[in-house]
A and B are shown apart, each in its own frame.
Chain A
Amino acid sequence: MEIIKTHYNRRSFIKVSATAGGGLVVGFNWLMSSCSPGDEKLGGLALPDNWFDINAYLKIGNNGVVTIYSQNPEIGQNVKTAMPMIVAEELDVDWGKVIVEQAPLNSEKFNRQVAGGSQSIRQEWKALRTAGATARRMLMEAAAQQWNVPVTELTTENSTIKHSSGKSIGYGEVASLAATLEMPEEIELKDPKDFKLIGRPTKNVDGKKVIKGEPIFGLDIKRDGMLIAMVVHAPAFGMRPKSVADSEARTMPGIKDVFIINSFPEGVERQWADVSAFPELVVVVGTSTWEVMKAKKALKVEWETTSKPMNTDEYDQALSALLDKKAETPARKDGNPDEAFKKAAKVVERTYSAPFLAHNTMEPMNFFAHVTADRAELVGPIQTPAALRTSVSRVLNLPEENVTVDMTRQGGGFGRRLYGNFGVEAAVISKRVNAPVKLVYTREDDMTQGTYRPAYKVKYSAALDKDNNLIGLKIRGVGILESPVFANRFPAGAVDNYLVENHSLESNITIGAWRAPRSNFIAVAEQSFLDEVAEAAGKDPIDFRLELLERATTKPVGERNDYDPARYAGVLKLIREKSGWNGQKNGLSRGVSAYFCHNSYVAQVVDLEMKDGKPLIQKVWCAADCGIVVNPEGAINQIEGCVVDGIGHAMYSAMTFKEGVPDQSNFHNYKLIRNSEAPREIECFFVENGIDPTGLGEPGLPPIGAALANAIYSATGKRLTTQPFAQTDLVNIERM
């Protein structure tokens, strides 16, 4: 048991007076068949006659039904199930009596409302537990008052308060009194060994709505008087609209208006989230989606060039040139790398590269906005609602308190929805047409408008001494607008002579965080390279990594190493055991990889066979250390998804450009992994260590590309270094 002060975040516990049938005033009325008030039953639960607000995270009905608000955006990472589970655990409530609702943006009540960096569970763990424990304590105090007994004689179980005499009372029966009590100054948190809900596989709280096709996504929003808006952006990066001939489009049925906007005009301060290669857009507004789509095609836009359009081969050459250039200041230097390479008995060198990638969330970008003279109401899929509020406030010159943001369920995020340019555009358009508007991107708009995972290259050089010890490592990373290398991650700390240099290349192609930014490339390169170095050293790839981690544990080099080598080694040891690494391979070829990012550790083994030059992945073994696993069902699903996503993008996907024009525009020429290409089986194991939990939305993705490449090497003798791997001919290879 842990005693904690509740006021470390008082904002979260602002008391709301109990109002019969009212509850928190939140606007959940934006969907056609809204998820809560008005429905007679919710998931088979009878709605209470009265709700009593206990704190910002939850309210309790007089019949014992509990509503828990999920504060963070839900993009498929399943926080809408996991975060309320943490509240419910400490509240000691029957999960079957819990309704989960998405909370709107409310910075007064919640610390952080962001879907990014796999941080939801890690950063809110304590606040969510406190919210549940505080409410439980207040319910107990209420029962103590009602029974006139000391609260110390009470216990709780499954939505019921019990007295040592044997009598008991339901949460719903004391909720009205509890809601009037003072917030306790100190509360007890459960000992993790007493967790009943945390650690229990729990199904997605929106599962029923999804299987019935309920309108819960941003694109499903409908309002009286709502117009549909679509945009046309310049065909090439480095261009903008000069003029538009719209006479034909204007006469088409259902079309209300055509105009050009600048969503980030000169003089408006831009923040980090305001990434947009095409702030100037031609807009078509009409009454139905298809009519607007047709009118878009009838526009004749004259474009002008504002900066040099890039070609894929040009930036590829420029990145290669940067790889040969010494950095003036290294990102990190330990020992004397040059000396180590002079003394080396063996040197291994390899360059890796990967292309731009689009996010391709299955739900294209869209947003609802209703801007009036002094207010802006925004509803839709956004990973950073607070940043969107700031951007809209600046662009429309409205005070932030007059801008509201509600979050729908989101058809994928993967980082794209961190950058809410589409929300700002919707607001600018709504203001211009003076009506509620839903902005919708077509797939082509979505795929060709930028904010990509940048193209990267990295060159690794390893020096081995005559006893096959890794005595030197040099890493030079380059990329569009950023280098992919994290200087202080493994193998930093494990090598005496270590050098990291970074360069980046300017570009008018916009970039943004893409699921496990930078890690999604560098893990594949690094873990492929370590495999090659292990082979050169004549060592087993897992033993070789463990040797380095042992060095980083017992005698670390430098002080800025930002990983825990013991936990890192832990996932490798677990995967070695579970996959039977040292045993029979049943005719399959194997590869291993491990990586640490976003505070979690993941190791993977791929078992595959080659068929007609293509990998047929029979099984992927995964070991993860994310501390306490809140929801094993969701955690496994995340890792499975990361594996499939990581394999798909390493194998198949790329964005390329000619004269600034993307070569790919839709799924006929941008390949995403399909069902038959996903592994036949994925099995996940978790390290059990009772450490406070960290996230899993990203950490399962980075290592898998290397486990795949290493398994393909094992099968074919061919080292894959250039993504997407499928472009390498694996049929006509000479066995080495």
Chain B
Amino acid sequence: MATFKLHVNGKTREVDVSPDTPLLWVLRDSLDLAGTKYGCGIAQCGACTVHLNGEAVRSCALPISAVADGKVVTIEGLSEKGDHPVQKAWEEADVMQCGYCQSGQIMSAAALLKKNPAPSDEEIFTAMNGNICRCGTYMRIREAIKKASAMS
């Protein structure tokens, strides 16, 4: 076990965990931030996507020791009131079915739009192909990204 000081959603949090613990389980188990989801554990489905220094990363395959003093943003910290343009667009497009993958989808989309405010279809595919939705809401995800792009 070791102590780590983390910067999560603008706050400094201290956790005492084994250094190989993936960020995902630190968020969910130690910090009670359960919005970041477990889907595969091998960075294949994107349900666990968070931002590390502004980049979309798969927290299930990122050991806490590698996070160092990086700034982590989770779905809970994307906006204070759930009114980030991507969140608003997701609600407006009524994207979700079961909803489980959507926090990961939203985090991938938000990272994309931050770098590329008006992505092409191909750029959307490249950014979003790592996020699986078994319910098949992909068309609405694309629509919401375009809505968010138009909003910001």
> Which positions in A face B, CB cutoff 8 Å?
32, 75-78, 203-204, 206-208, 210-217, 219-220, 222, 228, 253, 288-291, 293-294, 360-364, 409-414, 442-444, 633-634, 637-638, 640-645, 648, 666-668, 672-676, 678-679, 681-682
Give B96-108 as 1s and 0s: 1 = Cβ < 8 Å from A's Cβ atoms. 1111111100100
Q: Is the CB of B91 within 8 A of A667?
A: no
A611 → chain B, closest Cβ, in Å? 13
Min CB distance B4 to A, Å, is 13
CB of B140 within 8 Å of the partner chain: yes
Can you sample 15 A-B contacts with CB below 8 Å? A32-B34, A213-B75, A217-B99, A288-B25, A361-B98, A362-B45, A363-B37, A364-B38, A412-B135, A443-B42, A640-B137, A666-B42, A668-B44, A674-B138, A675-B142
Asked if residues B25 and A290 are in contact (CB atoms below 8 Å), the reply is yes
0/1 per residue, B6-41, Cβ < 8 Å to A?
000000000001101110010011101111111111
A362 B129 Cβ-Cβ under 8 A: no
- CB-CB under 8 A for A409 and B94, given A289-B25, A678-B139: no
**Complex interface residues of chain B between 55 and 103 (CB less than 8 A to chain A):** 74-76, 82, 87, 90-91, 94, 96-103
Tell me the complex Cα distance, A673–B28, Å. 27
Residue in chain B with minimal CB distance to A681: B139
Check if A361 sits within 8 Å of B134, measured CB to CB: yes
Residues of B within 8 A of A206 (CB): 96, 99
Query: Do the beta carbons of B34 and A220 come within 8 Å of each other?
Result: yes
Query: In chain B, what residue has the closest Cβ to A672?
Result: B132
Tell me if B141 is interfacial: C-beta within 8 Å of chain A: yes
Known contacts A288-B25, A412-B100, A641-B135; 13 further A-B pairs (Cβ under 8 A):
A212-B76, A214-B35, A216-B99, A217-B37, A288-B17, A290-B21, A361-B100, A362-B101, A410-B98, A412-B134, A444-B41, A666-B41, A675-B124
Query: A360 contacts B102, CB within 8 Å?
Result: no
Q: Give the number of chain B interface residues (Cβ < 8 Å).
A: 57
- Cβ of A77: which chain B residues have Cβ within 8 Å of it? 97
Contact check, B136 vs A678: say whether CB atoms are below 8 A apart. Answer: yes
Any A CB within 8 A of the CB of B133: yes
Q: How many A-B residue pairs have CB under 8 A?
A: 190
The answer on a CB contact under 8 Å between B39 and A443 is yes
Residue B128 CB within 8 A of the other chain: yes
Residues of chain A lying within 8 A (CB to CB) of residue B135: 76, 362, 412, 641, 645
Cα distance A360–B139 in the bound complex, in angstroms: 20
Using Cβ atoms and an 8 Å threshold, which residues of chain B touch A361?
A: 98, 100, 134
Residues on A with C-beta less than 8 A from B102 are 210-211
Among residues of B, the one whose C-beta sits closest to the C-beta of A202 is: B94
Q: Which residues of B contact A222 (CB under 8 A)?
A: 32, 34
Contact B136 A290 (CB under 8 A): no
Chain A CB within 10 Å, residue with most, of B30, B44, B98: B98
Query: Please, which residues of chain B bring their CB within 8 A of the CB of A360?
Result: 134
- Decide if B149 is an interface residue (CB 8 Å cutoff): no
Q: Give the distance in Å from the alpha carbon of A363 to the alpha carbon of B36 in the complex.
A: 12
In the complex with contacts A206-B99, A288-B25, A637-B97, A253-B1 CB distance below 8 A: yes
Which one of A363, A633, A637, A642 lies within 8 Å of B100 (CB-CB)? Answer: A363
Nearest chain A residue, comparing its CB with the CB of B26: A290
Which residues from A are CB-within-8-Å of B44?
Answer: 666-668
Q: Is the interface of B mostly helix, strand, loop or mixed?
A: loop
Residues of B within 8 Å of A288, CB to CB, are 17, 25, 29-30
State in angstroms the CA–CA spacing of A444 and B137 once bound together.
Answer: 24
In the bound complex, how far is the Cα of B134 from the Cα of A641, in angstroms?
8
Q: Which residues of B contact A219 (CB under 8 A)?
A: 34, 37-38
In the complex, chain B residues whose CB is within 8 Å of the CB of A217: 34, 37, 99-100
Query: With A222-B34, A675-B129 as given contacts, are A290 and B137 in contact (CB-CB < 8 Å)?
Result: no
Nearest chain B residue, comparing its CB with the CB of A207: B91
Shortest Cβ distance from B77 into A: residue:
A213
The 8 Å CB contact of A645, one of B82, B96, B134, is B134
> What's the Cα separation between A193 and B98 when bound, in Å?
31
B111 close to A (CB within 8 Å): no
Residues of B within 8 A of A289 (CB): 25, 28-29, 38
Q: Is the CB of B97 within 8 A of A212?
A: no
> Could you tell me if A682 and B98 are in contact, using CB atoms closer than 8 angstroms?
no
Q: In the complex, how many angstroms separate the beta carbon of B63 from the nearest chain A beta carbon?
A: 10
Chain B: which residue is nearest A674 at the CB level? B129
**What is the bound-complex CA distance between A444 and B38, given in angstroms?**
12
Complex contact B139–A212 (CB within 8 A): no
Q: How far is the CB of A240 from chain B (nearest CB, A)?
A: 25
CA distance A414 to B41 in the complex (A): 21
Report chain A residues within 8 Å CB of B20: 294
Residues of B near A213 (CB, < 8 A) are 33-36, 74-76, 103
Q: Are A637 and B25 neighbours in the complex by a CB distance under 8 Å?
A: no
Residue of A nearest to B76 (CB): A213
CB of B47 within 8 Å of the partner chain: yes
**Which of B87, B96, B128 interacts with A675 by CB under 8 Å?**
B128
Tell me whether A679 and B36 are in contact (CB under 8 A). Answer: no
From B102, which residue of chain A is reached at the shortest CB distance?
Answer: A210
Chain B nearest CB from A215 CB (Å) reads: 4
- Say yes or no: A78-B97 contact (C-beta < 8 A), given A208-B82, A289-B28, A290-B18: yes
Q: In the docked arrangement, what's the CA distance between A213 and B78, Å?
A: 10
The closest CB in chain B to the CB of A641 belongs to B136
Q: How far is the CB of A678 from chain B (nearest CB, A)?
A: 4
CB A643 to nearest CB in B, in angstroms, measures 7
Are A668 and B87 closer than 8 Å at their CB atoms? no
Q: Is the CB of A679 within 8 A of B139?
A: yes
- Please name all residues of chain B whose beta carbon is closer than 8 Å to the beta carbon of A253 when the two chains form the complex: 1, 18
Residue from the list A212, A634, A643, A672 in contact with B134, Cβ < 8 A: A672
**Quick one: which of B40, B41, B96, B131 contacts A210, CB cutoff 8 A?**
B96
CA distance A676 to B103 in the complex (A): 19
In the complex, the answer to whether B132 meets A643 with C-beta atoms within 8 Å is: no
Our pick among B47, B91, B137 for the contact of A211 (Cβ within 8 Å) is B91
Q: Separation in Å of the A722 CB from the closest CB of chain B?
A: 23
- Choose among A291, A638, A643 the residue that contacts B97 (Cβ–Cβ < 8 A): A638
Contact between A640 and B99 (Cβ–Cβ < 8 Å)?
A: no
Q: How far is the CA of A222 from the CA of B106 in the complex (A)?
A: 24
How many angstroms from the CA of A233 to the CA of B32 in the assembled complex?
Answer: 29
Q: Contacts A290-B22, A411-B98, A668-B42; is A210 near B103 (CB within 8 Å)?
A: yes
Is A211 a contact partner of B82 (Cβ separation < 8 A)? yes
CB nearest to B35 among chain A residues: A213
Q: How far is the CA of A364 from the CA of B47 in the complex (A)?
A: 12
Q: Are A682 and B139 in contact (CB under 8 A)?
A: yes
CB distance from B57 to the nearest CB of A (A): 16
Q: What's the least CB distance linking A597 to chain B, in Å?
A: 18
What residues on A are CB-neighbors of B87 within 8 Å?
211-212
Could you tell me if A643 and B136 are in contact, using CB atoms closer than 8 angstroms?
yes
Q: A442: nearest residue on chain B (CB-CB)?
A: B41
A215 CA / B90 CA spacing, docked (Å) = 18
A681 to B140 alpha-carbon distance, docked (Å): 10
Q: Which residues of A contact B38 (CB under 8 A)?
A: 219, 289, 364
Min C-beta distance of A676 to chain B, whole Å: 4
